Amino acid sequence: MVFKGLPVSKGIALGKAFVYTPFTATIDKHNISADEKAEHRYRFSEVTKKAADEIKKLQEKMSAEDTDKVGIFEAHEDILCDETIVDEILALINEESHNGEYAIDTVYEKYAQIFSEMDDELMQERSADFRDVKNRILRIWAGQEEKNLSQLDHPVVICAHDLLPSDTATLNKKNVLAIVTETGGNTSHSAIIARSYEIPALLGVSGVMASIQNNIAVIVDAVDGDLLVQPNEQETAEYEKKKAAYLHTIKELQTFRSIDPVMADGTRIDIFLNIGSVNDEELEAAAYTDGVGLFRSEFLFMQGKELPSENQQYYVYKKAVETYGERQVILRTLDIGGDKTLESMHLPKEDNPFLGCRALRLCFQKLDVFKTQLRAALRASAHGNLALMFPMVGSIEDIQKAKAHVEECKQELRKEGYLFNEKMPVGIMIEIPAIAVLADVVVHEVDFASIGTNDLCQYLMAVDRLNSNVAMYYQSYNPAMFKLIHQVSLAFEKAGKSLSVCGEIGGDAMAVMAFIGMGIKKFSMTGYNVPAVKRVISKLTMDKAQQLVGKLQALTMACQIEELLKAEMDELLT
């Protein structure tokens, strides 16, 4: 069986499927008879024992792999064994004749609620642990095995209807051969993370979950966009060969990874990196990039059940700036909302989350969270070349308001005697069309800007970037995109301010040729795209790039632009 999908992170993988369906309990409430009471009591004690075994195993695993997380499971053990909770559950079964699942849900929810309303932040955070333990018990009660992407213990191909960014952010990437989902598009955050981990990913594979089971053999061709379920021997041999040839090409391309990004006529282009964490694998790219053009700080917030404190954030940002020394690190402030949620922050469900209280808008509502991040960033600026960038800016008022909060934080830190860079550059992402149209005004309000083409395309073309059903309308090569980006580039060039492209198309070697012709000389991308972009830069001249822009201006459709860019790149590389 062959399925079609969108290859969002290139590569070929052969392996066994791991079907990921996160457990969600559906609780029904009913009265039980005297006989059933005995049965539910017995079942509750059996389920509790099994939960205790699971937690013990997790403790053992974590003490070998990640000691920081052992404490979490020790706390879960305490909750599970808490006598008051156990007595209250049994009382609901015995005295109120409630069914076991309902009794478990009610008692755990009560304590989760009590803790979430406490004044002490640490206590509030315990409520998530109560819910976690409750889910574990209810899952075992429902007879389901534990599935958790951070606990994969052998290499698998993850198949899921959808993956939340937090699923992808916490997965044990050593054991992920490839990712296949039914939803998602090229610029969904699952796609972005897959690319940065260099895991082949095929998204938008419609209907695949109905035809796939655990451990079934699959081949993921995230080059041509095919998923083969239960391939035969001949197909397996063919794809083994294709994979070897693909890896060989990638290896050749790697020779461009560490060259200086200098054009054939000597013009220097800056190649920056997009990162989501400061782990060693991401920072390894510091050796061959000019800085960090986009540090998606929200992934730091997604890793735990608690919001990172000012000090925790400070150490992470400090590590990034110290790694890059004099080179710039652009920290993007929290961009939550849209497809990114936080376990540590309860956010109301919105009908149109991408048009809702996202990123800067949310930060304005949660000023304590925003200012904690600004303070941590300012303190880290004392250790290197840190710049701050605001996402989802829609108006001049947004910029002025955000800058005013930076000033407030500076005042506080001065009073408290902290060191920071008084002149830390402050910039914005240009990803809402309104702000792109106003580029000639905006440029006077900021030190720099970076074009977030993923969202710019979503909002300009009115296409949900995650909805595979409308993926063909998400046209990054639409002439409107190039026209608008050109206009922004001219405004920034005239004002002599720095402008980069940090959306996914900023790492697309074909589009980069055109952007260079428009005057943009700074690009930020995942490490994976660096070799291909540097290769094109090394062969391109400014004359050629400008001629390309001239040709492009005459075109009216995305398919024509794509065709032109492909032809120009082929010519350049042959």
- Catalytic residues, by residue number, are 189, 502
According to the binding rule CB under 6 A, does residue 182 interact with ligand PEP? no
Report yes or no: 554 and 531 within 8 Å, Cβ to Cβ.
no
Quick one: 99 or 333, whose CB is closer to ligand PEP?
333
Cα 321 to chain centroid, rounded: 21
Quick one: 212 or 505, whose CB is closer to Mg ion?
505
DSSP code string of 437-483? HTHHHHTTT-SEEEE-HHHHHHHHHT--TT-GGGGGG--TT-HHHHH
Binding residues for ligand PEP, rule CB under 6 A, total 11
Q: How far is the CB of 452 from Mg ion (least distance, A)?
A: 4
d(CA 225, CA 10): 9
According to the binding rule CB under 6 A, does residue 335 interact with ligand PEP? yes
Report yes or no: 482 and 457 within 8 Å, Cβ to Cβ.
no
226-229 vs 2-4, strand pairing mode: antiparallel
Dihedrals phi, psi of 148, to nearest 5 degrees: -155, 125
According to the binding rule CB under 6 A, does residue 195 interact with ligand PEP? no
Quick one: 129 or 431, whose CB is closer to Mg ion?
431
Dihedrals phi, psi of 179, to nearest 5 degrees: -125, 135
Quick one: 502 or 558, whose CB is closer to ligand PEP?
502
User: Segment contacting ligand PEP (CB under 6 A): 46-54, 236-244, 438-446, 449-457?
Assistant: 449-457
Is residue 227 helix, strand or coil?
Answer: strand
Q: How far is the CB of 117 from ligand PEP (least distance, A)?
A: 33
Candidates 469, 536, 14; CA nearest to 228 is 14
Residues in 52-81 at the binding interface with ligand PEP, rule: CB under 6 A:
none
Q: How far is the CB of 295 from ligand PEP (least distance, A)?
A: 11
Binding mask 273-312 for ligand PEP (x = CB under 6 A): ---------------------x-x----------------
Quick one: 328 or 450, whose CB is closer to Mg ion?
450
Report yes or no: 399 and 393 within 8 Å, Cβ to Cβ.
yes
User: Segment contacting ligand PEP (CB under 6 A): 83-91, 104-112, 450-458, 538-546?
Assistant: 450-458
| Site for Mg ion, rule CB under 5 A | 431, 452, 455
Candidates 146, 147, 176, 159; CA nearest to 211 is 159
The answer for residues whose C-beta is within 8 angstroms of residue 348's C-beta and 6 or more apart is none
What tokens were used for 5?
Answer: 């999908």
d(CA 431, CA 455): 5
Cα 499 to chain centroid, rounded: 23
Question: Strand pairing partners for 159?
Answer: 19, 180
d(CA 209, CA 180): 10
User: Segment contacting ligand PEP (CB under 6 A): 262-270, 310-318, 447-455, 546-554?
Assistant: 447-455
Binding mask 414-443 for ligand PEP (x = CB under 6 A): -----------------x------------
Q: How far is the CB of 420 from ligand PEP (least distance, A)?
A: 26
Q: How far is the CB of 528 from ligand PEP (least distance, A)?
A: 15
d(CA 214, CA 194): 21
Residues in 545-574 at the binding interface with ligand PEP, rule: CB under 6 A:
none
Burial class (CB in 10 A: 0-12, 13-18, 19+), 341: middle
526 binds, among Mg ion, ligand PEP, none (CB under 5 to 8 A by kind): none
163 binds, among Mg ion, ligand PEP, none (CB under 5 to 8 A by kind): none
User: Could you count the other beta carbons within 10 Å of the beta carbon of residue 52?
Assistant: 15
According to the binding rule CB under 6 A, does residue 454 interact with ligand PEP? yes
524 binds, among ligand PEP, Mg ion, none (CB under 5 to 8 A by kind): none
Residues in 211-250 at the binding interface with ligand PEP, rule: CB under 6 A:
none
* Amino acid of residue 236: T
d(CA 432, CA 500): 15
Q: How far is the CB of 192 from ligand PEP (least distance, A)?
A: 6
502 binds, among ligand PEP, Mg ion, none (CB under 5 to 8 A by kind): ligand PEP
- Using CB under 6 A, which of 323, 333, 373, 453 touches ligand PEP? 453
Quick one: 296 or 522, whose CB is closer to ligand PEP?
296
Quick one: 62 or 510, whose CB is closer to ligand PEP?
510
Quick one: 298 or 455, whose CB is closer to Mg ion?
455
Report yes or no: 200 and 280 within 8 Å, Cβ to Cβ.
no
Give the binding site for ligand PEP (CB under 6 A): 187, 294, 296, 335, 431, 452-455, 502-503
